Structure 1
Amino acid sequence: MDAVETKSATVFLKPPWLFKGSALYQLHLVKAATARTFIPKEFRLVEAFGYTLGGFFLAQYEDSPFGVFDELVVIAGIVWNPPTSCAWAARVLVNNHDACLHGRKDVGLPSHYAGFSKRIAAITEKRRDTSSGFLNRVGVGSFVRSTIKHLDIQVSEIKDSSEAEFCSMRLPTSVSQSTLGKSWMGPLVKMSLPSFR
């Protein structure tokens, strides 16, 4: 990774940077004490009852200044950025060296290079037959087996010549189709990301 740091692939790029693709944004409650370990002391954490809103952002970009790449952003929590608030990235993993460098140098993100492995897997599940409503209510309904497709994603951080698994996800078909860019799952979203450098 050190060799990549010596060049700047983003010298010629001026904002606004345009990224097109599909994404999944999953929100979770995070303990405020845990979130504070990732957020600089000069920023005030948005919290209620000892919790803030964190989660992750998983994206597959089909068009960007750096070409096609995947990104996983782990969000520690929400910080005040008057007059509004914004999500604080605790970790950013991308599988494109130039995008990684751009995130660090131009945007101030904690970007790291990673490998993304994706595969669609079929899983057979046993579930109650919904056509026999009364029998299900009294506990004697029948079960049916159905095959459901999932998208399995493994993300591994790569440092020098070593690789460490960071996370593994299983997304249902409706989400996986969107993530693969094969169907439309929502409105076109335009985002402006602040720089905290």
Structure 2
Amino acid sequence: MFFFFLFCGVDCITFMEVEERNVSSGYAKPPWIFKGRQLLFCFAFSALYQIHLVKASTARAFIPKEFRLVEAFGYTLGGFFLASYDDSPAGVFDELVMIAGIVWNPPTSCAWAARVLVNSNEACHHGRKEVGLPSQVARFSKKITAVPKRKRERAFGFLDTFGLGTTLSHPEDLMEVKVSEVDSAASANICNIQIRSDESETKLGKWMGPAIKMSLPSFSGNTKFNPNLLKYSCHIHCRVRPVSPAVVSKPLEDEADKNHTSQESLENERRLSVAVMLSKPIIALQFKDLTMQVEAPVVVHPSV
């Protein structure tokens, strides 16, 4: 579930061969186990993790003043994590984690979530109250269409070297995920995410990269539901491989959304979260057979 890890204080990594309500009994005692589906919305992976260059000025809006933002040349590392779970304390649900950037609290650096969107009331409640995450209930709408696939032409010579010499060939699948945040009876369109079926999957068959195990710390808290600054550990087991980045776009703004001046603070948070999603991607990773064990969070005190 709560997956903020690359370029954050990784304890260890090994490669192997091979509407709000009370929390259900599934969340009664930690650790909490989350398992990813074999297919992400009918695609052959469990989750997509995409790393972006996020403007430091955008990320700072989400970072507690007690922590220092890790930045260089005006940018930090953020992005998003999109996943589906078919086995969890909250049952089956989807999740989109918008990652603002990397924060530093000696001796550990971790990613900080700008927003966590889930289509499960129980997962939202637990994330807010127990783990200190900025969780919101959301709606995930998925559509898969066949689009023309690009095929390289040797005749283009030099252009083909840079992937510019292409013609349209057999179709490939394009998945579009529309994410809308739900607030009582109203909803707000957040973003659209387009993911193409990866060409390398056809060439490499079912190869999904090496199996890895990681033990990873994360920070959270500083919210109205949990004002403490927290730290918790995620133990992750999955298969991973690099893929082409997904394309993120912002849907057209509804007139109704523009006129909600009484919720300007909420709308500003949403706009900044979308800005994180729209920032420049630098790498995307697919995960398959994902299992995460999340430990109970503990209160941390900022280092001086």
Task: Name which of 52, 63, 71 aligns with 1:28.
Answer: 52
> Kindly tell me: are residues 47 and 184 of structure 1, through their superposed partners in 2, closer, same or farther at Cα, counting changes over 3 Å?
same
> Kindly tell me: are residues 97 and 172 of structure 1, through their superposed partners in 2, closer, same or farther at Cα, counting changes over 3 Å?
same
Equivalent in the alignment of 1:37: 61
Report the AA paired with residue 145 of structure 1.
S
> Kindly tell me: are residues 194 and 15 of structure 1, through their superposed partners in 2, closer, same or farther at Cα, counting changes over 3 Å?
farther
**Within-5 A mapping of 1:61-80:** 61-80=85-104
Does 2:208 match 1:185? yes
Report the AA paired with residue 198 of structure 2.
S
CA distance, structure 2, for counterparts of residue 13 and residue 193 of structure 1? 21
Equivalent in the alignment of 2:24: 9
CA distance, structure 2, for counterparts of residue 184 and residue 116 of structure 1? 28
Quote the sequence identity (%). 56
Equivalent in the alignment of 1:112: 136
SS of structure 2 residue aligned to 1:72: strand
8 A contact 1:77–1:87 mirrored in 2: yes
Equivalent in the alignment of 1:180: none
**Within-5 A mapping of 1:47-126:** 47-125=71-149
CA distance, structure 2, for counterparts of residue 142 and residue 77 of structure 1? 36
Report the AA paired with residue 57 of structure 2.
A
> Kindly tell me: are residues 47 and 12 of structure 1, through their superposed partners in 2, closer, same or farther at Cα, counting changes over 3 Å?
closer
CA RMSD of aligned residues (A): 2.5
CA distance, structure 1, for counterparts of residue 130 and residue 24 of structure 2? 11
1:188, distance to aligned residue in structure 2 (A): 5.1
8 A contact 1:10–1:102 mirrored in 2: no
Does 2:185 match 1:170? no
> Kindly tell me: are residues 10 and 40 of structure 1, through their superposed partners in 2, closer, same or farther at Cα, counting changes over 3 Å?
farther
CA distance, structure 1, for counterparts of residue 170 and residue 144 of structure 2? 16
CA distance, structure 2, for counterparts of residue 184 and residue 193 of structure 1? 30
Q: Give the TM-score normalised by structure 1.
A: 0.82
8 A contact 1:70–1:116 mirrored in 2: yes
Does 2:181 match 1:157? yes
Equivalent in the alignment of 2:276: none
8 A contact 1:20–1:62 mirrored in 2: yes
8 A contact 1:107–1:194 mirrored in 2: no
Gaps of 5+ in 1: 178-182
CA distance, structure 1, for counterparts of residue 207 and residue 120 of structure 2? 25
Q: Give the TM-score normalised by structure 2.
A: 0.55
CA distance, structure 2, for counterparts of residue 164 and residue 35 of structure 1? 22
Task: Name which of 136, 140, 147 aligns with 2:156.
Answer: 136
SS of structure 1 residue aligned to 2:23: coil
Shifted more, 41-50 versus 144-153: the winner is 144-153
CA distance, structure 2, for counterparts of residue 35 and residue 109 of structure 1? 16
Aligned residues: 183
1:87, distance to aligned residue in structure 2 (A): 0.7
Structure of greater relative contact order (alpha carbons < 8 Å, 6+ residues apart): 2
8 A contact 2:111–2:218 mirrored in 1: no
